Amino acid sequence: MTKKLLVANWKMNKGVVQSQQYAEDLRLYVEKTRLSHCEIVICPPFTSLEAVQRKINGSAISLGAQNVFYESSGAYTGEISTGMLKSCGCEYVITGHSERRSHFNETNLIINKKLMAVIDEGLKPILCIGETLQEHEDKITEAVIEEQLHICLAHIDEEAVKNIVIAYEPVWAIGTGKNATPHQIENTHNFIRKKIKKMFNEEISRSLRIIYGGSITPENSRDLLSPETVNGGLVGGSSLEIDSFIKIIESVKLNK
Ligand code: PGA
């Protein structure tokens, strides 16, 4: 069984000093407890990446970015390339988060370009997919996810897809306090695996890491993340306080 992957997405929160303190405290926890039951990734804002990397360097914690641009360099004021992220020590990059889709008009086509750039740089994308509330109510979740997978994973070969993590995040569950039920999560994860098998092959569909995101808290994490088909969680609000993120880490341990 693969280790569960827990990703802390801080979104637009924490300055450099706060970020460093958190990273230092998390490293202490990881080393004191000799944590080995799960893999931890923290995704600070761009401005804290380097400072956080200095604090977690050589530890079991990995660094991730929350977004990236697909061009490698040039006149793109305000954008950050995959090479820049790599130079800060990033290993993972969140791509296609629903907040990027809704606030910044990111389409599946743009996300596909980002995904390819991330892979070309040797980084690991965390591809976010999931249906909106309207799509959920219209019962078209599977059709939406199928389209997202087809477009976002276009031109990605079998070797490359092995390094992708898929985060199933129902948009209606993000930051709302409403979460999908373990049953809904399991069903959708199984559907994603079925599609991946069709697009790639059975081995990839079995080994691909698919995590869940959307209002994970220390109270519900054990239930939501326990099914075997759920390989971990993408945690927003509940990752901001280190105590609450540690409780989530501990709850995953109890699943073993
Ligand atoms: P949330 O965010 O845990 O605050 O719902 C999850 C996410 O945006 O990835």
Residue whose CA lies nearest to ligand 1 atom number 1:
236
- Distance between Cα 18 and ligand 1 center (Å): 20
Whether residue 178 has its Cβ less than 6 Å from ligand 1? no
Q: Mean of the pLDDT values across residues 182-209?
A: 96
Instruction: Examine the pLDDT at 256 and tell me if it is beyond 60.
Output: no
Whether residue 236 has its Cβ less than 6 Å from ligand 1? yes
pLDDT at residue 254, as a whole number? 64
- Distance between Cα 15 and ligand 1 center (Å): 19
Quick one: pLDDT band at residue 177, thresholds 50, 70, 90? confident
Q: Which atom of ligand 1 is nearest to the CA of 128?
A: 9
What does the pLDDT look like over 34-64, one tens digit per residue? 999 999 999 999 999 999 999 999 999 999 9
Q: Mean of the pLDDT values across residues 226-245?
A: 97
- Distance between Cα 61 and ligand 1 center (Å): 20
Residue 150: count other Cβ atoms within 10 Å of its Cβ.
13
Substitution candidate for ligand 1 out of 43, 165, 171, 174 with most atoms within 8 A of CB: 174
What gap in Å lies between CA 123 and CA 233, rounded to an integer? 19
Instruction: Examine the pLDDT at 255 and tell me if it is beyond 70.
Output: no
Whether residue 96 has its Cβ less than 6 Å from ligand 1? no
Q: Mean of the pLDDT values across residues 130-141?
A: 94
| Cβ within 8 Å of residue 26, ≥6 positions away | 40, 42, 56, 61, 242, 245, 246
Share of the chain above pLDDT 90, in %: 95
Whether residue 174 has its Cβ less than 6 Å from ligand 1? yes
Query: Residue 97 catalytic?
Result: yes
Share of the chain above pLDDT 70, in %: 98
pLDDT at residue 21, as a whole number? 98
Whether residue 62 has its Cβ less than 6 Å from ligand 1? no
Q: What average pLDDT does the chain have?
A: 96
pLDDT at residue 1, as a whole number? 61
Whether residue 233 has its Cβ less than 6 Å from ligand 1? no
Instruction: Examine the pLDDT at 158 and tell me if it is beyond 90.
Output: yes
Q: Mean of the pLDDT values across residues 200-220?
A: 96
In the block, residue with structure tokens 């893999």:
39
What is the 3-state secondary structure of the chain?
Answer: CCCEEEEEECCCCCCHHHHHHHHHHHHHHHHHCCCCCEEEEEECCHHHHHHHHHHHCCCCEEEEECCCCCCCCCCCCCCCCHHHHHHCCCCEEEECCHHHHHHHCCCHHHHHHHHHHHHHCCCEEEEEECCCHHHHHCCCHHHHHHHHHHHHCCCCCHHHHCCCEEEECCHHHCCCCCCCCHHHHHHHHHHHHHHHHHHCCHHHHHHCEEEEECCCCCCCHHHHHCCCCCCEEEECHHHCCHHHHHHHHHHHHHCC
What does the pLDDT look like over 108-117, one tens digit per residue? 999 999 999 9
Q: Mean of the pLDDT values across residues 249-255?
A: 82
pLDDT at residue 2, as a whole number? 78
Query: Residue 183 catalytic?
Result: no
Residue 208: count other Cβ atoms within 10 Å of its Cβ.
20
**Contact call for residues 153 and 163 (beta carbons, < 8 A):** no
